[in-house]
Structure 1
Amino acid sequence: MPFADVAAAWLGYAVIAGACVVKLPQIYLMVKNRSAEGLSETSAALDAIAASSFSYYNLLKGFPISGWGEQGIVAVQATVVLLLIWVYREGIRLKRRFCALVAWLAMSMLLLKEGHKEDYKYILVILGTSPTFMTAVSRIPQIFLNWQNGRTGQLSAITFFLQFLGSVVRFLTTLQIMGKDVLSLVSHATGAIFNLIVVLQIYSHSTPSDGRAARPCKAVAIAMATDKEV
């Protein structure tokens, strides 16, 4: 086996190992402070769905786990973050949300069981393309929320930096391991860009500059950034 393939495989496993702890700092902060301040529920939900969808796509395509395995781990941890938001945020209607979670799990089992069949080939394309869109959409509410508040609350710089680093490494390993799969490459590049933006926001808001209040947001920014009860 060529050295480049071996190196890419080991880098892939390193990313998987890193994924085991990537969201633990975020989870720790939330549990320690018993708070979900600064976290967007929409962002957390889309993060979990995007990671799950990308895992299903790669699994059904038969790609080696060294090229995508961290996404399954991230999906589980992102779901934990979402559940903690539900626990710590007041005014959450849990019944409706848990029904949606059960429906998603049921659909996931159906996809994994039937997704390899010819009738589901278009579903496979959707699974491959949707994570890119959802990654962008999942970060945008969080980015606007940070901008609106002028602070990043309980967001963990370590978590988002590790996600940025993982996306960059995964982009490189995908070129070598998965035959330059375009959908995967675009997804990793998108994730790297938006995770970097959040990291820069956390860094810039770590110390107040002049004590001025956060700038007012336009109506569309508020609608996307806040998770109002529906």
Structure 2
Amino acid sequence: MAEIFKSLLLSVLTQQCYDEYFVKYNFFDELCFKSTLSKGLGIGIIAGSILVKVPQILKILGNKSAEGINIFGVFLELFAITANFSYSYIMKFPFSAWGDGTFLAIQTATIAALVLNYSGAPTKAGIFLAMYTGLVSILASGYTPVNILWNMQAMNVPIIFIAKTIQVVTNYKNGSTGQLSALTCFLLFGGSIARIFTSIQETGDFIIILTYCVSTLANGALVFQLLWYWNVDKTTKNKNKKKKRN
């Protein structure tokens, strides 16, 4: 039992920090605190990422509509996520620093396929999923040069900004956030903030840290719009209900 407990702790703690806490009983080591906090946040983010975009997917499926979701913005976001986890995987960064990217990619690809499907292009949705699966296999195979993956990661900074800006502009033009899920947007915003800290602690890679800083600002803009248009969306739904009754 003791060995099992130790193995579980070592999934979050380094051997050095385990010794500091449970051999030397030094619970105030600053470096170990930061390391443990980073690992814990990373694991928490990964656990949350498994379902973070599910509310968005369910909202689209429930309404049988992808109204208000800009497909080009979704594609750009998917590129950014894919570049991030492919680069991190090849660079052998700890899984806790990038593992959420794999789940976010699956869910974002699903959203892209749903948007295509409900836009009247189900065949394109199927082709897109097949092509995306093939692309990920190539990027994570180890045969793609690291400099290409780095450049893709570097492109994330303007791409994330552009992708979110497209959605922000779409919301502004519509005067509403449409089918955007508030829960998903809030979780992405919180996750990107936490990822700045975990990236500093676990990768030290400037381009990844910068990417999450830009992502936090961009997600924050969407959260602001959700709060701004909150009453507008409620009023629109009530008007639609009245029209249906009449």
Q: How far apart, CA to CA, are the structure 1 residues paired with 2:129 and 2:61?
A: 21
Residue in structure 1 matching 2:140, options 97, 105, 112? 112
Residue in structure 1 matching 2:198, options 166, 169, 173? 173
The answer to whether 1:193 aligns with 2:217 is yes
1:47–1:75 contact (8 Å) kept in structure 2: no
Residue in structure 2 matching 1:73, options 89, 94, 103? 103
> TM-score w.r.t. structure 2 length?
0.77
2:66–2:118 contact (8 Å) kept in structure 1: yes
1:115–1:124 contact (8 Å) kept in structure 2: no
| Structure 2 counterpart of 1:27, one-letter code | I
Q: Percent identity?
A: 27
Unaligned runs of 5+ in 2: 1-16, 18-31, 236-246
Counterpart of 1:203 in structure 2 is 227
Residue in structure 1 matching 2:116, options 86, 92, 95? 86
Q: Residues 113-151 of structure 1: CA distance to partner in whole angstroms, max 9, x if unpaired? A: 2346xxx13212213212222211211111110011111
**Alignment: residue pair count:** 204
Q: How far apart, CA to CA, are the structure 2 residues paired with 1:36 and 1:95?
A: 17
Counterpart of 1:220 in structure 2 is none
- Higher normalized contact order (CA 8 Å, seq sep 6+, divided by chain length): 1
RMSD of Structure 2 on Structure 1 (CA) = 1.9
1:30–1:36 contact (8 Å) kept in structure 2: yes
Displacement of 1:100 in angstroms is 4.8
Alpha-carbon spacing, 1:172–1:137, altered in 2? closer, same or farther (3 Å)? same
Displacement of 1:101 in angstroms is 4.3
The answer to whether 1:59 aligns with 2:95 is no
1:160–1:198 contact (8 Å) kept in structure 2: yes
Displacement of 1:173 in angstroms is 1.2
Residue in structure 1 matching 2:77, options 47, 64, 70? 47
Runs of 4+ in 1 over 3 A off after TM superposition: 94-104
| Structure 2 counterpart of 1:121, one-letter code | V
Q: Secondary structure at the match of 1:114?
A: coil
Displacement of 1:157 in angstroms is 1.1
2:83–2:149 contact (8 Å) kept in structure 1: no
Displacement of 1:69 in angstroms is 0.7
Alpha-carbon spacing, 1:29–1:104, altered in 2? closer, same or farther (3 Å)? closer
Counterpart of 1:14 in structure 2 is 44
Q: Residues 55-82 of structure 1: CA distance to partner in whole angstroms, max 9, x if unpaired? A: 0000000000001111111010001111
Counterpart of 2:23 in structure 1 is none
Alpha-carbon spacing, 1:186–1:201, altered in 2? closer, same or farther (3 Å)? same
Q: Secondary structure at the match of 2:140?
A: helix
Q: Which has the higher helix share?
A: 2
